């Protein structure tokens, strides 16, 4: 697998990564996708955990998603990102900028939306389909209606949820679309507990305590299984869990346990924070 190490090293060299908007960044990612396909044919597919890297995403999600969509194909190139910030530094922006994907960015802050719309007015070109920004405070009561109003429904490629609050409850309520891949934020501070913070439609971060919201990796995995998904990986810190729909049969991507995503020392150290709120109210996942 020396070719893969050399390619990734070159990709992250200063010459290539000086400007993440430069066409060479996308070209190198396309080359990496082709190498993944060749590796698949030769039964030398890399471990999913080794494929992560960051271009626009918060952690390694850009690389993990690139690897994943290399194997399952880009399909309709459609995404929904709930809690998108400005849509520039997000889980879907690399796909939008370098691969021409489009979809929906949901964000509550109008200033962030204005910044994102200005960015995408010319990126990747003025002629590409543009992602749509929707200003809304997302709740489980309104998520399906908000998406329905855009005309989007049925199968999409990617759903990303990061709203620092009711992530679990919003995914649980979402039925109007059936994403192939889901990236969703969990609370590693909850460790291996099977717990969910009760739903509060008016929750705004940081609430009563900065980690008293959301769900543990175990609870989120139980929800995923109920909705027909299986866990295949996570960002190194374990915060963002990645699921694939079970009908997409990929033998190269084995199902993993949620507990196995808590390996990072920072994730383990963060679990000490749970003791501050361990006796607060929780529901079982």
Residue range 51-284 in CATH 3.40.50.150: yes
- The pLDDT > 90 percentage for the chain reads 84
Q: What is the pTM of this model?
A: 0.91
Instruction: Find the radius of gyration of the CA atoms of the chain.
Output: 19
pLDDT digits (tens, 9 = 90+) for 243-253: 999 999 788 89
**179/158 Cα distance (integer angstroms):** 5
Number of H helices, E strands in the chain: 10, 9
Q: pLDDT band for position 115 (50/70/90)? A: very high
**Domain residue extents for the chain:** 51-284
- The pLDDT > 70 percentage for the chain reads 94
- The pLDDT value recorded for residue 125 is 80
Contact between 190 and 167 under an 8 Å Cβ cutoff? The reply is no
Parallel, antiparallel, or unpaired for β 102-107 and 78-82?
A: parallel
Q: pLDDT band for position 4 (50/70/90)? A: low
């Amino acid at each position: 697998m020396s070719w893969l190490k050399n390619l990734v090293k070159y990709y992250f060299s200063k010459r290539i990564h000086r400007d993440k908007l430069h066409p060479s960044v996308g070209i190198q990612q396309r080359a990496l996708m082709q190498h993944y396909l060749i590796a698949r044919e030769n039964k030398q597919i890399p471990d999913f955990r080794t494929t992560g890297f960051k271009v626009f995403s918060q952690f390694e999600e850009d690389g993990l998603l690139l690897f994943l969509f290399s194997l399952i194909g880009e399909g309709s190139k459609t995404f929904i990102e709930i809690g998108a910030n400005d849509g520039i530094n997000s889980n879907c922006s690399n796909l939008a900028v370098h691969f021409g994907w489009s979809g929906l960015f949901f964000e509550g802050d109008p200033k962030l939306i204005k910044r994102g719309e200005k960015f995408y007015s010319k990126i990747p070109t003025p002629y590409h389909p543009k992602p749509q920004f929707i200003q809304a405070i997302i709740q489980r009561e309104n998520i399906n209606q908000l998406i329905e109003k855009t005309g989007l429904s049925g199968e999409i490629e990617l759903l990303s949820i990061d709203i620092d609050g009711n992530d679990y409850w919003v995914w649980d309520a979402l039925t109007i679309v059936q994403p192939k891949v889901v990236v969703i934020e969990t609370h590693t501070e909850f460790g291996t507990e099977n717990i969910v913070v009760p739903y509060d439609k008016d929750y705004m971060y940081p609430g009563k305590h900065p980690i008293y919201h959301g769900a543990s990796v175990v609870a989120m995995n139980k929800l995923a299984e109920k909705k027909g998904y299986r866990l295949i990986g996570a960002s190194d810190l374990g915060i963002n869990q990645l699921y694939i729909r079970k009908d997409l049969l990929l033998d190269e991507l084995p199902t993993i346990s949620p507990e196995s995503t808590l390996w990072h020392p920072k994730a383990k150290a963060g679990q000490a924070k749970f003791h501050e709120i361990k006796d607060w109210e929780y529901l079982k996942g």
